[in-house]
Structure 1
Amino acid sequence: MQPVEKVSVDDAPTRTRVTKSIMENGPSTAADLALRLHLTPAAVRRHLDQLLADGILEARDQRVIGQRGRGRPAKVFALTDAGRSTFDSSYDELAVEALRFLAKTGGDDAVMAFARHRLSDLEDRYRPLLQLADPAQRPQVLADALSRDGFAASIGTTPAGSQMCQHHCPVAHVAVEFPQMCEAESEMFARLLGTHVQRLATIAHGDGVCTTHLPHTPDTPSSTAAERLPS
Protein backbone atom coordinates (compact mmCIF):
# COMPACT_ATOMS: atom_id res chain seq x y z
CA MET A 1 0.00 0.00 0.00
CA GLN A 2 1.26 3.45 -0.88
CA PRO A 3 2.00 5.58 2.20
CA VAL A 4 -0.29 8.58 2.57
CA GLU A 5 1.64 11.84 2.51
CA LYS A 6 1.24 13.62 5.80
CA VAL A 7 0.81 17.38 5.69
CA SER A 8 3.08 18.95 8.27
CA VAL A 9 2.00 21.91 10.34
CA ASP A 10 5.40 23.34 9.39
CA ASP A 11 4.03 23.82 5.87
CA ALA A 12 1.92 26.77 7.01
CA PRO A 13 4.85 29.18 7.60
CA THR A 14 6.35 28.20 4.24
CA ARG A 15 3.07 28.86 2.45
CA THR A 16 2.98 32.24 4.18
CA ARG A 17 6.46 32.91 2.79
CA VAL A 18 5.22 31.99 -0.69
CA THR A 19 2.20 34.31 -0.52
CA LYS A 20 4.26 37.12 1.00
CA SER A 21 6.88 36.77 -1.74
CA ILE A 22 4.19 37.09 -4.40
CA MET A 23 2.65 40.06 -2.58
CA GLU A 24 6.01 41.85 -2.44
CA ASN A 25 7.28 40.94 -5.92
CA GLY A 26 4.12 40.56 -7.95
CA PRO A 27 2.89 37.54 -9.97
CA SER A 28 5.68 34.95 -10.05
CA THR A 29 6.53 31.67 -11.74
CA ALA A 30 7.30 28.54 -9.77
CA ALA A 31 10.94 28.88 -10.82
CA ASP A 32 11.05 32.47 -9.54
CA LEU A 33 9.68 31.39 -6.17
CA ALA A 34 12.03 28.43 -5.85
CA LEU A 35 15.04 30.68 -6.48
CA ARG A 36 13.79 33.49 -4.26
CA LEU A 37 12.86 31.28 -1.31
CA HIS A 38 15.65 28.72 -1.66
CA LEU A 39 13.19 25.85 -2.08
CA THR A 40 13.22 22.88 -4.41
CA PRO A 41 10.90 23.05 -7.44
CA ALA A 42 8.96 20.07 -6.05
CA ALA A 43 8.41 21.81 -2.71
CA VAL A 44 7.26 25.00 -4.40
CA ARG A 45 4.81 23.06 -6.58
CA ARG A 46 3.36 21.33 -3.54
CA HIS A 47 2.76 24.63 -1.76
CA LEU A 48 1.37 26.25 -4.90
CA ASP A 49 -1.07 23.39 -5.43
CA GLN A 50 -2.36 23.81 -1.88
CA LEU A 51 -2.65 27.59 -2.16
CA LEU A 52 -4.53 27.19 -5.45
CA ALA A 53 -6.89 24.71 -3.83
CA ASP A 54 -7.45 27.10 -0.92
CA GLY A 55 -8.29 29.96 -3.27
CA ILE A 56 -5.35 32.06 -2.06
CA LEU A 57 -3.62 32.05 -5.47
CA GLU A 58 -4.68 31.88 -9.08
CA ALA A 59 -2.65 30.78 -12.10
CA ARG A 60 -2.32 33.01 -15.16
CA ASP A 61 -0.45 32.86 -18.46
CA GLN A 62 2.77 34.85 -18.25
CA ARG A 63 2.80 38.02 -20.32
CA VAL A 64 5.54 37.84 -22.94
CA ILE A 65 7.26 41.10 -23.90
CA GLY A 66 8.88 41.07 -27.33
CA GLN A 67 9.21 38.03 -29.54
CA ARG A 68 7.59 34.93 -28.10
CA GLY A 69 9.61 31.73 -28.05
CA ARG A 70 8.41 28.24 -28.77
CA GLY A 71 6.04 26.45 -26.46
CA ARG A 72 3.45 27.65 -24.02
CA PRO A 73 4.35 30.62 -21.79
CA ALA A 74 5.12 29.76 -18.19
CA LYS A 75 2.33 30.05 -15.64
CA VAL A 76 2.56 32.85 -13.12
CA PHE A 77 0.85 32.73 -9.75
CA ALA A 78 -0.94 35.80 -8.40
CA LEU A 79 -2.86 36.56 -5.23
CA THR A 80 -6.64 36.39 -5.38
CA ASP A 81 -8.83 38.82 -3.44
CA ALA A 82 -9.05 36.20 -0.70
CA GLY A 83 -5.27 35.88 -0.62
CA ARG A 84 -4.75 39.62 -0.57
CA SER A 85 -7.24 40.00 2.28
CA THR A 86 -4.87 38.05 4.53
CA PHE A 87 -2.63 41.13 4.41
CA ASP A 88 -5.39 43.72 4.49
CA SER A 89 -7.11 45.34 7.42
CA SER A 90 -10.25 43.73 8.84
CA TYR A 91 -11.85 47.19 8.83
CA ASP A 92 -12.37 47.32 5.05
CA GLU A 93 -16.13 46.90 5.27
CA LEU A 94 -16.40 49.59 7.92
CA ALA A 95 -14.37 51.96 5.73
CA VAL A 96 -16.58 51.24 2.71
CA GLU A 97 -19.73 51.88 4.72
CA ALA A 98 -18.32 55.16 6.04
CA LEU A 99 -17.40 56.34 2.54
CA ARG A 100 -20.81 55.35 1.20
CA PHE A 101 -22.37 57.52 3.88
CA LEU A 102 -19.97 60.36 3.03
CA ALA A 103 -20.78 60.06 -0.69
CA LYS A 104 -24.51 60.07 0.04
CA THR A 105 -24.39 63.10 2.33
CA GLY A 106 -21.57 65.12 0.78
CA GLY A 107 -21.24 63.81 -2.76
CA ASP A 108 -18.17 62.71 -4.74
CA ASP A 109 -16.32 65.91 -3.88
CA ALA A 110 -16.47 65.01 -0.18
CA VAL A 111 -15.04 61.56 -0.90
CA MET A 112 -12.22 63.12 -2.92
CA ALA A 113 -11.49 65.59 -0.13
CA PHE A 114 -11.22 62.70 2.31
CA ALA A 115 -8.96 60.72 -0.04
CA ARG A 116 -6.59 63.69 -0.26
CA HIS A 117 -6.73 64.33 3.46
CA ARG A 118 -5.75 60.76 4.40
CA LEU A 119 -2.54 61.12 2.39
CA SER A 120 -1.54 64.54 3.75
CA ASP A 121 0.56 63.17 6.63
CA LEU A 122 2.26 60.71 4.25
CA GLU A 123 3.06 63.51 1.83
CA ASP A 124 4.45 65.72 4.60
CA ARG A 125 6.80 62.91 5.67
CA TYR A 126 7.93 62.09 2.14
CA ARG A 127 8.54 65.64 0.88
CA PRO A 128 11.78 66.32 2.82
CA LEU A 129 13.19 62.96 1.70
CA LEU A 130 12.62 63.76 -1.96
CA GLN A 131 13.85 67.35 -1.65
CA LEU A 132 17.19 66.10 -0.30
CA ALA A 133 17.57 63.47 -3.03
CA ASP A 134 19.16 63.87 -6.45
CA PRO A 135 16.34 64.32 -9.02
CA ALA A 136 17.29 61.11 -10.81
CA GLN A 137 17.00 59.17 -7.55
CA ARG A 138 13.65 60.56 -6.43
CA PRO A 139 11.51 57.74 -7.88
CA GLN A 140 13.60 55.19 -5.97
CA VAL A 141 13.44 57.29 -2.78
CA LEU A 142 9.67 57.47 -3.14
CA ALA A 143 9.41 53.70 -3.69
CA ASP A 144 11.60 53.01 -0.65
CA ALA A 145 9.45 55.30 1.51
CA LEU A 146 6.27 53.60 0.30
CA SER A 147 7.77 50.18 1.02
CA ARG A 148 8.53 51.17 4.60
CA ASP A 149 4.85 52.02 4.94
CA GLY A 150 3.72 48.62 3.66
CA PHE A 151 3.12 49.28 -0.06
CA ALA A 152 5.89 46.90 -1.23
CA ALA A 153 6.95 49.28 -4.02
CA SER A 154 9.67 48.73 -6.59
CA ILE A 155 11.13 50.77 -9.46
CA GLY A 156 11.90 49.75 -13.01
CA THR A 157 13.31 51.91 -15.79
CA THR A 158 11.95 52.68 -19.25
CA PRO A 159 13.33 54.96 -22.00
CA ALA A 160 10.73 57.58 -21.03
CA GLY A 161 11.28 57.47 -17.29
CA SER A 162 10.62 55.12 -14.40
CA GLN A 163 7.84 52.66 -13.73
CA MET A 164 6.80 52.17 -10.12
CA CYS A 165 5.00 49.01 -9.06
CA GLN A 166 3.17 48.76 -5.75
CA HIS A 167 2.62 45.11 -4.99
CA HIS A 168 0.39 45.76 -2.01
CA CYS A 169 -2.39 48.28 -1.44
CA PRO A 170 -3.87 48.58 2.06
CA VAL A 171 -7.04 50.18 0.67
CA ALA A 172 -7.52 48.04 -2.45
CA HIS A 173 -10.94 46.75 -1.39
CA VAL A 174 -12.12 50.28 -0.68
CA ALA A 175 -10.69 51.64 -3.95
CA VAL A 176 -12.74 49.13 -5.96
CA GLU A 177 -15.81 51.20 -5.16
CA PHE A 178 -14.08 54.54 -4.58
CA PRO A 179 -11.39 55.17 -7.25
CA GLN A 180 -10.81 58.57 -5.64
CA MET A 181 -8.35 56.77 -3.35
CA CYS A 182 -6.17 55.96 -6.37
CA GLU A 183 -6.63 59.39 -7.93
CA ALA A 184 -5.52 61.17 -4.75
CA GLU A 185 -2.44 58.97 -4.55
CA SER A 186 -1.46 59.81 -8.14
CA GLU A 187 -1.88 63.50 -7.34
CA MET A 188 0.44 63.09 -4.36
CA PHE A 189 3.10 61.42 -6.53
CA ALA A 190 2.88 64.30 -9.04
CA ARG A 191 3.33 66.93 -6.35
CA LEU A 192 6.25 65.12 -4.74
CA LEU A 193 8.06 64.54 -8.03
CA GLY A 194 7.17 67.89 -9.60
CA THR A 195 5.91 66.30 -12.80
CA HIS A 196 2.81 64.61 -14.16
CA VAL A 197 2.43 60.87 -13.60
CA GLN A 198 0.29 58.28 -15.34
CA ARG A 199 -1.42 55.39 -13.58
CA LEU A 200 -1.25 52.34 -15.85
CA ALA A 201 -2.81 49.65 -13.67
CA THR A 202 -4.31 49.21 -10.21
CA ILE A 203 -4.94 46.30 -7.90
CA ALA A 204 -8.43 47.73 -7.33
CA HIS A 205 -9.23 47.15 -11.02
CA GLY A 206 -8.07 43.54 -10.89
CA ASP A 207 -4.46 44.00 -11.99
CA GLY A 208 -1.68 42.13 -10.21
CA VAL A 209 0.03 45.34 -9.08
CA CYS A 210 -0.52 49.10 -9.07
CA THR A 211 1.71 50.47 -11.83
CA THR A 212 2.53 54.14 -12.32
CA HIS A 213 4.63 55.73 -15.06
CA LEU A 214 6.95 58.42 -13.67
CA PRO A 215 8.49 60.57 -16.44
CA HIS A 216 12.07 61.72 -16.07
CA THR A 217 12.15 64.53 -13.51
CA PRO A 218 13.85 67.80 -14.45
CA ASP A 219 17.12 68.78 -12.78
CA THR A 220 15.27 71.49 -10.91
CA PRO A 221 11.83 70.15 -9.98
CA SER A 222 9.09 72.33 -11.35
CA SER A 223 6.24 73.38 -9.13
CA THR A 224 3.93 73.66 -12.14
CA ALA A 225 2.50 70.18 -11.74
CA ALA A 226 1.87 70.75 -8.06
CA GLU A 227 0.24 74.12 -8.71
CA ARG A 228 -2.15 72.57 -11.22
CA LEU A 229 -3.35 70.01 -8.72
CA PRO A 230 -5.73 70.96 -5.93
CA SER A 231 -4.28 70.70 -2.44
Structure 2
Amino acid sequence: MLKTQGPLSVHDMSKQLGITEMAVRRHINTLDRDGLLETKLVRQAMGRPTSLYSLAAQADDLFPKNYMQLTLDLLSELVQDDGEDLVDRLFARRQGTMEQRYQSRMDFSKLEERIEELARIQNENGYMVEWSQTGQDEYTFSEHNCPITQVAYRFQQACQCELKLFQNLLDADVERTECLAKGGSKCIYRIRGRK
Protein backbone atom coordinates (compact mmCIF):
# COMPACT_ATOMS: atom_id res chain seq x y z
CA MET A 1 0.00 0.00 0.00
CA LEU A 2 2.72 2.45 0.98
CA LYS A 3 4.69 1.57 -2.16
CA THR A 4 1.79 2.10 -4.56
CA GLN A 5 -0.15 4.87 -2.83
CA GLY A 6 2.51 6.94 -1.13
CA PRO A 7 2.11 8.56 2.29
CA LEU A 8 -0.85 7.27 4.31
CA SER A 9 -2.22 7.84 7.78
CA VAL A 10 -2.95 5.08 10.28
CA HIS A 11 -6.66 5.72 9.72
CA ASP A 12 -6.30 5.31 5.91
CA MET A 13 -4.37 2.07 6.29
CA SER A 14 -6.84 0.72 8.85
CA LYS A 15 -9.78 1.30 6.51
CA GLN A 16 -8.07 -0.26 3.48
CA LEU A 17 -6.77 -3.29 5.37
CA GLY A 18 -9.94 -3.84 7.38
CA ILE A 19 -8.04 -4.06 10.67
CA THR A 20 -8.00 -1.87 13.78
CA GLU A 21 -5.86 1.23 14.05
CA MET A 22 -4.07 -0.45 16.98
CA ALA A 23 -3.09 -3.37 14.71
CA VAL A 24 -1.82 -0.92 12.06
CA ARG A 25 0.23 0.90 14.73
CA ARG A 26 1.91 -2.39 15.71
CA HIS A 27 2.96 -2.90 12.09
CA ILE A 28 4.06 0.74 11.86
CA ASN A 29 6.17 0.37 15.02
CA THR A 30 7.92 -2.71 13.59
CA LEU A 31 8.60 -1.05 10.23
CA ASP A 32 9.83 2.09 12.00
CA ARG A 33 12.09 0.07 14.31
CA ASP A 34 13.65 -1.57 11.26
CA GLY A 35 14.30 1.83 9.65
CA LEU A 36 11.86 1.21 6.81
CA LEU A 37 9.50 4.16 7.39
CA GLU A 38 9.57 7.92 7.23
CA THR A 39 7.04 9.95 9.20
CA LYS A 40 5.73 13.39 8.34
CA LEU A 41 3.49 15.40 10.67
CA VAL A 42 0.75 17.20 8.72
CA ARG A 43 -1.34 19.96 10.28
CA GLN A 44 -5.09 19.73 9.85
CA ALA A 45 -7.54 22.62 9.43
CA MET A 46 -9.14 21.43 12.65
CA GLY A 47 -7.94 19.09 15.37
CA ARG A 48 -4.60 17.49 16.03
CA PRO A 49 -1.88 17.07 13.40
CA THR A 50 -1.85 13.70 11.61
CA SER A 51 1.17 11.52 10.97
CA LEU A 52 1.62 10.33 7.40
CA TYR A 53 3.84 7.32 6.82
CA SER A 54 5.84 6.54 3.71
CA LEU A 55 8.58 4.06 2.89
CA ALA A 56 12.19 4.97 3.59
CA ALA A 57 14.83 4.41 0.90
CA GLN A 58 16.00 1.23 2.72
CA ALA A 59 12.59 -0.35 2.12
CA ASP A 60 13.18 -0.42 -1.63
CA ASP A 61 15.31 -3.55 -1.23
CA LEU A 62 12.23 -5.45 -0.03
CA PHE A 63 10.62 -5.29 -3.45
CA PRO A 64 11.45 -7.51 -6.44
CA LYS A 65 14.30 -6.40 -8.68
CA ASN A 66 15.52 -7.73 -12.00
CA TYR A 67 19.15 -6.65 -11.86
CA MET A 68 20.31 -10.11 -12.87
CA GLN A 69 18.61 -9.91 -16.26
CA LEU A 70 20.05 -6.45 -16.84
CA THR A 71 23.51 -7.74 -15.96
CA LEU A 72 23.13 -10.72 -18.29
CA ASP A 73 21.86 -8.54 -21.11
CA LEU A 74 24.71 -6.04 -20.76
CA LEU A 75 27.38 -8.74 -20.60
CA SER A 76 25.87 -10.47 -23.64
CA GLU A 77 25.94 -7.16 -25.54
CA LEU A 78 29.62 -6.74 -24.64
CA VAL A 79 30.38 -10.25 -25.91
CA GLN A 80 28.54 -9.50 -29.18
CA ASP A 81 30.36 -6.23 -29.71
CA ASP A 82 33.84 -6.99 -28.38
CA GLY A 83 34.06 -10.73 -27.70
CA GLU A 84 34.74 -12.83 -24.62
CA ASP A 85 38.12 -11.15 -24.04
CA LEU A 86 36.45 -7.97 -22.84
CA VAL A 87 34.28 -9.93 -20.39
CA ASP A 88 37.40 -11.76 -19.19
CA ARG A 89 39.07 -8.41 -18.51
CA LEU A 90 35.98 -7.05 -16.73
CA PHE A 91 35.84 -10.01 -14.36
CA ALA A 92 39.61 -9.81 -13.78
CA ARG A 93 39.21 -6.14 -12.85
CA ARG A 94 36.30 -7.00 -10.56
CA GLN A 95 38.44 -9.62 -8.85
CA GLY A 96 41.23 -7.06 -8.36
CA THR A 97 38.81 -4.50 -6.97
CA MET A 98 37.33 -7.02 -4.53
CA GLU A 99 40.80 -8.10 -3.48
CA GLN A 100 41.75 -4.50 -2.69
CA ARG A 101 38.48 -4.00 -0.81
CA TYR A 102 38.97 -7.03 1.45
CA GLN A 103 42.76 -7.37 1.75
CA SER A 104 42.90 -5.18 4.86
CA ARG A 105 40.53 -7.60 6.60
CA MET A 106 42.94 -10.50 6.01
CA ASP A 107 45.73 -9.33 8.28
CA PHE A 108 45.99 -12.60 10.23
CA SER A 109 48.99 -14.86 10.55
CA LYS A 110 46.98 -18.10 10.77
CA LEU A 111 45.21 -19.55 7.74
CA GLU A 112 42.27 -20.57 9.92
CA GLU A 113 41.71 -16.95 10.95
CA ARG A 114 41.82 -15.80 7.32
CA ILE A 115 39.29 -18.48 6.37
CA GLU A 116 37.01 -17.39 9.22
CA GLU A 117 37.22 -13.77 8.01
CA LEU A 118 36.58 -14.80 4.39
CA ALA A 119 33.48 -16.69 5.59
CA ARG A 120 32.31 -13.50 7.34
CA ILE A 121 32.85 -11.48 4.15
CA GLN A 122 31.01 -13.99 1.97
CA ASN A 123 28.13 -14.25 4.46
CA GLU A 124 27.81 -10.46 4.42
CA ASN A 125 27.38 -10.82 0.66
CA GLY A 126 24.72 -13.55 0.92
CA TYR A 127 26.71 -16.73 0.22
CA MET A 128 25.60 -18.74 3.31
CA VAL A 129 29.06 -20.15 4.09
CA GLU A 130 30.06 -23.06 6.28
CA TRP A 131 33.64 -24.15 6.73
CA SER A 132 35.50 -26.77 8.72
CA GLN A 133 38.98 -28.08 9.27
CA THR A 134 39.48 -31.45 7.58
CA GLY A 135 43.15 -32.12 8.34
CA GLN A 136 46.46 -30.57 9.26
CA ASP A 137 46.28 -27.12 7.62
CA GLU A 138 43.42 -28.34 5.35
CA TYR A 139 39.89 -26.94 5.26
CA THR A 140 36.59 -27.24 3.42
CA PHE A 141 34.74 -24.03 2.57
CA SER A 142 31.15 -24.42 1.32
CA GLU A 143 28.87 -21.75 -0.14
CA HIS A 144 25.22 -22.84 -0.07
CA ASN A 145 23.99 -19.81 -2.01
CA CYS A 146 25.36 -17.80 -4.90
CA PRO A 147 23.80 -14.34 -5.32
CA ILE A 148 25.08 -14.25 -8.91
CA THR A 149 24.22 -17.80 -9.97
CA GLN A 150 22.45 -16.73 -13.16
CA VAL A 151 25.48 -14.71 -14.25
CA ALA A 152 27.83 -17.56 -13.32
CA TYR A 153 25.77 -20.07 -15.38
CA ARG A 154 26.37 -18.01 -18.51
CA PHE A 155 29.74 -16.43 -17.67
CA GLN A 156 32.11 -18.88 -16.00
CA GLN A 157 34.51 -15.96 -15.57
CA ALA A 158 32.59 -15.14 -12.38
CA CYS A 159 33.60 -18.49 -10.89
CA GLN A 160 37.22 -18.10 -12.01
CA CYS A 161 37.25 -14.63 -10.44
CA GLU A 162 36.04 -16.02 -7.11
CA LEU A 163 38.59 -18.84 -7.09
CA LYS A 164 41.48 -16.44 -7.79
CA LEU A 165 40.15 -14.03 -5.16
CA PHE A 166 40.11 -16.79 -2.54
CA GLN A 167 43.65 -17.91 -3.46
CA ASN A 168 45.00 -14.39 -3.14
CA LEU A 169 43.10 -13.35 -0.01
CA LEU A 170 43.90 -16.58 1.83
CA ASP A 171 47.46 -16.87 0.48
CA ALA A 172 46.73 -20.59 0.20
CA ASP A 173 46.16 -23.33 -2.34
CA VAL A 174 42.44 -23.32 -3.14
CA GLU A 175 40.67 -25.82 -5.37
CA ARG A 176 36.97 -25.81 -6.26
CA THR A 177 35.59 -29.35 -6.06
CA GLU A 178 31.89 -28.58 -6.66
CA CYS A 179 30.19 -25.62 -8.34
CA LEU A 180 26.58 -24.43 -8.29
CA ALA A 181 26.95 -22.98 -11.78
CA LYS A 182 28.01 -26.39 -13.08
CA GLY A 183 25.10 -28.30 -11.57
CA GLY A 184 26.41 -28.82 -8.04
CA SER A 185 24.24 -28.41 -4.96
CA LYS A 186 26.71 -25.83 -3.59
CA CYS A 187 30.18 -24.42 -4.24
CA ILE A 188 32.81 -26.35 -2.31
CA TYR A 189 36.44 -25.32 -1.98
CA ARG A 190 39.30 -27.36 -0.61
CA ILE A 191 41.88 -25.11 1.02
CA ARG A 192 45.43 -26.11 1.92
CA GLY A 193 48.10 -24.00 3.53
CA ARG A 194 51.18 -23.30 1.45
CA LYS A 195 54.38 -24.85 2.78
Superposition TM-score, scaled by structure 1 size: 0.52
Instruction: After superposing the two structures, state which structure 1 stretch, 116-125 or 92-101, moved more.
Output: 116-125
- Paired residues in the alignment total 133
Distance 1:197 1:132 in 2: 17
2:187 is aligned with 1:195: no
C-alpha contact (below 8 Å) 1:135/1:217 kept by paired residues: no
Q: Which of 201, 212, 229 lines up with 2:189 in the alignment?
A: 212
Question: RMSD value over aligned CA atoms?
Answer: 2.4
Q: Which of 64, 69, 77 lines up with 1:93 in the alignment?
A: 69
Q: Which residue of 2 aligns with 1:182?
A: 159
Q: Which of 115, 130, 136 lines up with 2:106 in the alignment?
A: 130
**Deviation (angstroms), 1:133:** 5.1
Distance 1:89 1:138 in 2: 33
Percent identity for Structure 1 against Structure 2 = 25
- Letter aligned with residue 197 of structure 1: V
Q: Which runs of 5+ in 1 are unaligned?
A: 1-87, 219-231
- Letter aligned with residue 192 of structure 1: L
C-alpha contact (below 8 Å) 2:142/2:186 kept by paired residues: yes
- Letter aligned with residue 96 of structure 1: L
Q: Which residue of 1 aligns with 2:84?
A: 108
Distance 1:147 1:110 in 2: 29
C-alpha contact (below 8 Å) 1:201/1:210 kept by paired residues: yes
- Letter aligned with residue 105 of structure 1: D
Q: What's the CA shift string for 1:22-76, capped at 9, x where partnerless?
A: xxxxxxxxxxxxxxxxxxxxxxxxxxxxxxxxxxxxxxxxxxxxxxxxxxxxxxx
Distance 2:125 2:103 in 1: 15
Three-state SS of the structure 2 residue aligned to 1:104 is helix
Structure 1 runs (4+) deviating above 6 angstroms are none
Distance 2:139 2:194 in 1: 10
C-alpha contact (below 8 Å) 2:129/2:143 kept by paired residues: yes
Structure having the larger proportion of residues in strand: 2
Distance 1:101 1:127 in 2: 32
Three-state SS of the structure 1 residue aligned to 2:90 is helix
Structure 1 segment 2-151 matched on structure 2, within 5 A: 90-132=66-108, 134-151=110-127
- Letter aligned with residue 99 of structure 1: L
Distance 2:112 2:192 in 1: 10
**Deviation (angstroms), 1:196:** 2.7
C-alpha contact (below 8 Å) 1:193/1:217 kept by paired residues: no
C-alpha contact (below 8 Å) 1:154/1:165 kept by paired residues: yes
